[in-house]
Structure 1
Amino acid sequence: MTCPLCTLPAGELLYEDARLWVLLVEEAGYPGFCRVIWKQHVREMSDLTVTDRSHLLDWVMRTEIAIRHVMQPDKINLASLGNVVPHLHWHVIPRFADDAHFPSPIWASPQREGADHSQPQLAGLLRTALLEQAAS
C-alpha cells in the first residue's frame, strides 16, 4: 500500500523541518484546519523517541497557539486517529459555536448550516504566527 502521508501531502505548507510538516488543509466549512504530520512512516506516538515525541507535541501546541491567535475560535479540537491512514499525524481544528457540527466532532452529522469563518490571507497569517514561535 502506498501511504498518502509519506510524501508531502496536499495542503498549503505552513512550516517544515527535518522531522515534520505543518499543513493548512482544505476542509469544507473548516478554515484553519491544520495537520501536523510526522515525516517518517510510524503508526503511533509510542514509536517515537522521547525527544521526537516532545518535538511533535511542541509543534501541535505551536499550531494550536497560532490558530488561536489568528482566528480566535471558541475551541480547538486535537485528534490523532490514524485509523484510515496509519501514519502518525495530528489534526488541529478550530471550532466555532456556530459551525455546522458544534458541539459534536466535525466527522459527526451536521447540526446546522455553519457560519463562514474564512479569512483572507489565512495561510500567510498562520505561517507568520508559526514562524514567530519558531524564532522564540
Structure 2
Amino acid sequence: MTCELCELAVEPVWRNDKLSVILVDDTAYPGFCRVIWNDHVKEMTDLAPSDRLVLTDAVWHVELALRDVMKPDKINVASLGNMTPHLHWHVIPRYADDAHFPNPVWTVAVRATDESTLAERRARLPKLAADIVRRMEKPA
C-alpha cells in the first residue's frame, strides 16, 4: 500500500532522520506547509517523549518562518490524519482575504483571492524555504 505523505516527502524543503518539512502545492494557500514524521505512526502518543519534543519544536520553527516571511493574519496548526493515518501537522498561513477565512481551509470557499495577491505570496516561497532550512539547521 502506498502512502501519500511518504510520496510527498520525497522532495522536502528540509529532512532529517526523524521528520520532513514540505511546501504543499496549493495555489490558494501559498506557504501551506506540512511537517511529516518519517516513520509510520498514527498518533502523537505513539512517539517517545523525546520524539514528541522534536516534532513540536519543528512545527514551532515552521510557524515562525511562516510568520516572518509570509506575514499572515493568523496561522492554523492542525493534525488530522483521518484519511492518511501517518503522523503529520498542517501549518497554514491565513489571511482575511483568503478563500475560506474565517472558516477552516477544508470548508466551502466563500470568496476568491485576487490572483495578483496570490502571485505576490507565491513569490515569497523561495525565501520561506530558505528560512525553514535555516531555522531547522540552527534551532533557537
Q: Same fold (TM over 0.5)?
A: yes
Aligned partner letter, 2:18: R
For residues 112-134 of structure 1, give each alpha carbon's deviation from its aligned partner in whole angstroms, at most 9, with x where no partner exists: 11233323251x21222123323
For 2:27 and 2:10, locate their aligned partners in 1 and report how far apart those are by CA, in whole Å. Answer: 13
CA contact (8 A) 2:69 2:124 kept: no
Return 5+ residue gaps in structure 1 as ranges.
none
Letter in 2 for 1:15: W
Deviates more, 1:80-89 or 1:113-122: 113-122
2:127 aligns with 125
The one-letter code matched in structure 2 to 1:39 is N
Equivalent residues of 1:10, 1:25 under 8 A apart: no
Partner Cα separation in structure 2 for residue 10 and residue 25 of structure 1: 10
TM (normalized to structure 1)?
Answer: 0.90
TM-superposed CA distance for 1:40, in Å, is 0.1
Matched letter for residue 132 of structure 2: L
CA distance in 2, matches of 1:93, 1:62: 13
AA in 2 matched with 1:128? A
* TM-score, normalised with respect to structure 2: 0.88
- Segments of 4+ in structure 1 off by > 3 A? none
Residues of 1 paired with 2:21 and 2:7: CA distance?
A: 10
Corresponding residue pairs, total: 134
Q: 1:66 to 1:98 in 2, by over 3 A?
A: same
**Residue pair 1:12, 1:24 contacting (<8 A) in 2 also:** no
Residue 51 (structure 1) aligns with: 50
What are the within-5 Å matches in structure 2 for residues 1-136 of structure 1? Answer: 1-5=1-5, 7-9=6-8, 13-115=12-114, 116-117=117-118, 118-120=121-123, 122=125, 124-133=126-135, 134-136=137-139
d(CA) in 2 for partners of 1:43 and 1:85?
9
